[in-house]
Structure 1
Amino acid sequence: MGPMIRAHSAAAVRAAEEPLLAAGEPLMASAAFALATHVVAELRARGRVAGSVVLLLVGGGNNGGDALFAGTHLVRRGCQVHAALVSDGVHEGGLAAARAAGVRVHRVLDAADPAAAVVDLARRCGVWVDAVTGIGARGPLRGPAAPVVAALAAERSAWPQEPVVVAVDVPSGIGVDDGTVEGPVLPADVTVTMGTAKPGLLLPPAAGLAGRVEVVALGLDGTLAAEPPAACSLTAADVADLWPVPGPDDHKYTRGVLGIAAGSQTYPGAAALATAGALRTGLGMVRYLGPEVPADLVRTLHPEVVTVPGRVQAWVLGSGVDPADAARTAELHEHLSAALAARLPVVLDAGALTLLQEDTRLPDLPATAVLTPHAGELAQLLTACGEETAREDVTAAPARHARLAAEITGATVLLKGPTTVVAAPAGPLFAQQDATPWLATAGAGDVLAGVLGALLAGYGDLIASGTHDGAHLPASLSAAAALVHGRAARIAAGLPPGPGEGRARTGVPITAGDVAAAVPAALRTVLG
């Protein structure tokens, strides 16, 4: 289990490289050798190295030079290497070295149809190395590179046996610093990134196009250690450090008591699922407060739950609550006001998010209030706050809109999606790509609210007393809850717990109840 993945902006990377380049460090030579090593590893995993045919997609800039120099190493390993030059200006030293080593260079821009020429060449190659653009590019691909990459992406998806695609630094065309995808991108199986991860490799939607991310250490660690990361992704080891584990002197009150005001006469299942998610984490107690139908269901399914008011250390509010239910909405407002007054952490989900849009009596929220919207709910919240936003805007730039919502409300925002994004008003973004598409099922968000609420309850007294940093800790805990929830979904679907582990890709259908039941198994992979 490795440490947290930290991603730094393109500007920070360039600033870290400057003193090393001035000192004569051979960064390109190191990057090229590492790239060639990763390509060889991919070839070996698929059968053979010598005799394999590799295509380098070479644009201008240093990552094109990395690919050309890597090609010289691959020729020496017995590969047949082709280089398609998709830019008028490529790295001269790399091009000269590639030619001298025996790399076959193709000036595809001289063809009547460059995209067709590249596709014809690509069909003969089992590995495509994407070095069209690097971290200096901004916006979508332009010029001849755009139709070339679009054609290759279409060709790759159509092949019964897909080629292996290795991206150099970043898949060409993604938003390097924000993860946006505004034009064609060739999805990668593996991205070999230099010096440090880049935010676009962690943030959606680009994160879904990067494949497995391999970071090549180029000696930038010392300089970047003093530079706050732009984005982070927790690993199991980080979650193990964060998760409260009981000691011999603990009891149910020191282990955390979570109050849940969720579910309704119409949607009682939300109460049961949020409660199930919380109980499976191992906290001390769940205190459920709600109407008769959901309360009876919770008592029947979970007899250990207490259904009378009393002391709590965190709250989960709003899951399965209809905003049109005035009485229930008033109860949510009462619980939220009490939590804010006591400086207790609180999860605001579903119906409680609508409460924020309509209730002008509420003060600005602290970072210890965690909002858990999906894209549509976040768009509604931002629009209600004066920032006209559509669901499509959020899905196109999740990180940007999650951060905007955090800045406007003061709260921590956990934006649910294929990659979960967590944003606080300040500090790095968190991005967790730990789940499976099978998790997109009714009630899964209720389970996540319960898991997150339980984790916050474990820190509730410390946060309320100011012992822990209430401004930044909730974001880390939210990311930790997303990792455990995602791993539980993968285990329930019959998949390895970590997204990069094993070869199983599909799994089997699951329900939200299956996810809740798998939380202990997910924690076993983290804590064990």
Structure 2
Amino acid sequence: MRYAHTVQAVRDAEGALMARLPEGALMQRAAAGLAVVGARVLGRVYGRRVAVVAGSGSNGGDALYAGARLARRGAGVTAVLLAPERAHAAGLRALLDAGGRAVGAAEGAAVVARADLVYDGIVGIGGKGGLRAEAAELMRAARAGGGAVVAVDLPSGVDADTGEVAGEAVRADVTVTFGTYKPGLLIDPAAELAGAVTLVGIGLELGAPEVEALQHADLAGLLPRPSGESDKYRRGVVGVVAGSDRYPGAAVLAVSGALRGGAGAVRYVGGGGPAVLARHPETLVSSGSPHEAGRVQAWVVGPGLGDDARARTAVAEVLAADVPVLVDADGLRLMSRDAVRARTAATVLTPHAGEAAALLGRAREEVEASRLTAVRDLAELFGATVLLKGSTTLVAAPDPAVPVRVNPTGTAWLATAGSGDVLSGLTGSLLAARLPARDAASAAGYLHGLAARLTEGPLAAMDVAESIPEAWRNVCGG
């Protein structure tokens, strides 16, 4: 598992550690990690040109000390000081003593444009808002020059706690972060600016994270496995209420995801029965209402359902069931907030940014810019687990004390019609296999993204469904 902590949690842990260490020891740990990564990026240190763009404060100090270490190995290192009178004095002295030099911002553009490596030590994790004009100009020159940009702790100009980007920000090739990940390094739009992220341990003792991200080993421990005593009913039966005469494909895709999600059987209810049976004859199809379909351990409702009276009744019936329920697509428009909040069994909502905006009464752009805030607000508003789809897929539990999960496997190729229907079916199947709501949503998002990555090049939603077994084996080593 990868864990991300808030700025305040990091500050508290740093303060406690610095009280036990010699002065400057913590900064030296950070600088050592920065220098190691910088050397790795350069490949050969001797004779290479390094620019350290340093603001005031500890972030600039980390970068200056790292520059000093590279200068001692034969690199030509120049510090570009944005505020010379407030530069980190000890870090700057170390750089100059190692043979480096320092210039002001006015001379800096030419320096960074010629550099093979540029350290972004402009502002640290406490920074708010976008880059100031001269810093932005320097980093544009660095990008134009083609040298690798290495951000110190996080790219300057992004919000460490939320991933929001309020103005111009550094686009890094590599980010070296200290002690723990920061939420903004895992959540777009900031995550897109971080490049490859390297975590350097500096000895911090931290409590509960704000955000966490599953890895293969975590997922392998969550996924259900049949035993010798299993049968299709013990493995779980998932009901799918999806599709319509107009959108039978949504039914096929949701069922396709459900069949590959670990449950033992799929019951389908809706107008897409003929299309479902033509593709998946193993499906148990019913044309009646959900409560007439037979026993299930979880329901999926909404994809391609339409908004007529039959669809509204189906959503209401499913929400009244005493089993876990996933609501997606049309179901999100048709559901009653009071009905969701009144449920005692788990509920999972899976909106994209536009649907989330409608549920929250906000603009889509606001949701996309503040994804962490949006997913937490939705989970609290509806008392449900929320999987917010998009460039960064987030899963939030209704309890705000529980860390939000970030899916690390997503890919832009998933922005294709029907992929969300597959995800809904897959998540519902894991719910029917008795995974808790947060685990089911997190595991489904991970497998869904991995399946897309295992499908080379442009893909269709059915390609994702058909790659889920391979993704499952990839995770479990089977």
TM value normalised by structure 1: 0.85
Give me the whole-angstrom Cα distance separating, in 2, the residues matched to 1:254 and 1:61.
Answer: 60
Q: How far does the alpha carbon of each residue in 1:248-277 deviate from its partner, in whole angstroms, 9 at most, with x for none? A: 221111212111001111111111111111
- Answer yes or no: is 1:448 the counterpart of 2:432: no
Q: 1:233 to 1:149 in 2, by over 3 A?
A: farther
Identity %: 47
Question: Any residues of structure 2 matched to 1:28-39 within 5 Å, and which?
Answer: 28-39=27-38
- Following TM superposition, by how much is the alpha carbon of 1:49 offset from its aligned partner in structure 2, in angstroms? 2.6
Give me the whole-angstrom Cα distance separating, in 2, the residues matched to 1:416 and 1:264.
Answer: 23
- Answer yes or no: is 1:7 the counterpart of 2:4: yes
Q: How far does the alpha carbon of each residue in 1:385-419 deviate from its partner, in whole angstroms, 9 at most, with x for none? A: xxxx1111101101101111111110111110011
- Answer yes or no: is 1:19 the counterpart of 2:19: no
Q: Which of the numbers 367, 390, 395 marks the counterpart of 1:417?
A: 390
Question: Any residues of structure 2 matched to 1:494-505 within 5 Å, and which?
Answer: 494=456
Q: 1:406 to 1:68 in 2, by over 3 A?
A: same
Q: How far does the alpha carbon of each residue in 1:217-264 deviate from its partner, in whole angstroms, 9 at most, with x for none? A: 1111xx31xx21111111111111111111222111121211100111
Task: Report the equivalent of 1:129.
Answer: 119
- Answer yes or no: is 1:150 the counterpart of 2:136: yes
Give me the whole-angstrom Cα distance separating, in 2, the residues matched to 1:381 and 1:187.
Answer: 32
Give me the whole-angstrom Cα distance separating, in 1, the residues matched to 2:306 and 2:120.
Answer: 49
Q: 1:337 to 1:156 in 2, by over 3 A?
A: farther
Do 1:419 and 1:434's aligned partners in 2 also have CA atoms closer than 8 Å? no
Do 2:153 and 2:178's aligned partners in 1 also have CA atoms closer than 8 Å? yes
Task: Report the equivalent of 2:282.
Answer: 304
Bigger mean CA deviation after superposition, 84-93 or 66-75: 84-93
Q: Which of the numbers 150, 159, 167 marks the counterpart of 1:166?
A: 150
Q: Which of the numbers 77, 80, 87 marks the counterpart of 2:83?
A: 87
Q: How far does the alpha carbon of each residue in 1:29-82 deviate from its partner, in whole angstroms, 9 at most, with x for none? A: 1110111001111122xxx33222111111111111111111111112221111
Task: Report the equivalent of 1:374.
Answer: 352
- Following TM superposition, by how much is the alpha carbon of 1:355 offset from its aligned partner in structure 2, in angstroms? 1.6
Structure 2 unaligned blocks of 5 or more:
287-292
Amino acid at match of 2:190: A
Question: Any residues of structure 2 matched to 1:314-325 within 5 Å, and which?
Answer: 314-323=298-307, 325=308
Q: 1:157 to 1:258 in 2, by over 3 A?
A: farther
Bigger mean CA deviation after superposition, 17-26 or 234-243: 17-26
Give me the whole-angstrom Cα distance separating, in 2, the residues matched to 1:217 and 1:362.
Answer: 43
Task: Report the equivalent of 2:320.
Answer: 337
Task: Report the equivalent of 2:328.
Answer: 349
Task: Report the equivalent of 1:138.
Answer: 128
Amino acid at match of 1:509: P
Q: Which of the numbers 457, 463, 479 marks the counterpart of 2:442?
A: 479
Q: How far does the alpha carbon of each residue in 1:167-224 deviate from its partner, in whole angstroms, 9 at most, with x for none? A: 111111111111110011111122111111111111221111112221111111xx31
Task: Report the equivalent of 2:468.
Answer: 519
Do 1:281 and 1:454's aligned partners in 2 also have CA atoms closer than 8 Å? yes
Task: Report the equivalent of 2:404.
Answer: 429
Do 2:353 and 2:367's aligned partners in 1 also have CA atoms closer than 8 Å? yes
Bigger mean CA deviation after superposition, 49-58 or 371-380: 49-58
Amino acid at match of 2:468: V
Query: What number of residue pairs does the alignment pair up?
Result: 466
Do 1:319 and 1:349's aligned partners in 2 also have CA atoms closer than 8 Å? yes
Q: 1:363 to 1:8 in 2, by over 3 A?
A: closer
Please, what is the CA RMSD of the aligned residues?
1.7
Give me the whole-angstrom Cα distance separating, in 1, the residues matched to 2:108 and 2:230.
Answer: 65
- Following TM superposition, by how much is the alpha carbon of 1:118 offset from its aligned partner in structure 2, in angstroms? 3.1
Give me the whole-angstrom Cα distance separating, in 1, the residues matched to 2:57 and 2:363.
Answer: 36
Do 2:316 and 2:335's aligned partners in 1 also have CA atoms closer than 8 Å? no
Do 1:289 and 1:295's aligned partners in 2 also have CA atoms closer than 8 Å? yes
Task: Report the equivalent of 2:65.
Answer: 69
Give me the whole-angstrom Cα distance separating, in 2, the residues matched to 1:186 and 1:156.
Answer: 10
Task: Report the equivalent of 2:269.
Answer: 289
Structure 1 unaligned blocks of 5 or more:
112-116, 384-388, 461-472, 495-507
SS of structure 1 residue aligned to 2:285: coil
SS of structure 1 residue aligned to 2:118: strand
Amino acid at match of 2:147: P
Amino acid at match of 1:328: A
Amino acid at match of 1:38: V
Q: How far does the alpha carbon of each residue in 1:505-526 deviate from its partner, in whole angstroms, 9 at most, with x for none? A: xxx2111111111111111211
Do 1:418 and 1:433's aligned partners in 2 also have CA atoms closer than 8 Å? no
Q: 1:362 to 1:417 in 2, by over 3 A?
A: closer
Task: Report the equivalent of 2:109.
Answer: 119
Q: 1:184 to 1:354 in 2, by over 3 A?
A: same
Q: How far does the alpha carbon of each residue in 1:323-355 deviate from its partner, in whole angstroms, 9 at most, with x for none? A: 2x11122112112211xxx2x211100111012
Bigger mean CA deviation after superposition, 346-355 or 84-93: 84-93
Q: 1:152 to 1:478 in 2, by over 3 A?
A: farther
Amino acid at match of 2:195: G
Give me the whole-angstrom Cα distance separating, in 1, the residues matched to 2:453 and 2:339.
Answer: 41
- Following TM superposition, by how much is the alpha carbon of 1:136 offset from its aligned partner in structure 2, in angstroms? 2.2
- Following TM superposition, by how much is the alpha carbon of 1:283 offset from its aligned partner in structure 2, in angstroms? 2.4
Do 1:367 and 1:411's aligned partners in 2 also have CA atoms closer than 8 Å? no
Give me the whole-angstrom Cα distance separating, in 1, the residues matched to 2:75 and 2:299.
Answer: 60
Give me the whole-angstrom Cα distance separating, in 2, the residues matched to 1:361 and 1:487.
Answer: 34
Amino acid at match of 1:369: T
- Following TM superposition, by how much is the alpha carbon of 1:150 offset from its aligned partner in structure 2, in angstroms? 3.0
Do 1:149 and 1:185's aligned partners in 2 also have CA atoms closer than 8 Å? no
Q: 1:253 to 1:36 in 2, by over 3 A?
A: same
Task: Report the equivalent of 2:289.
Answer: none
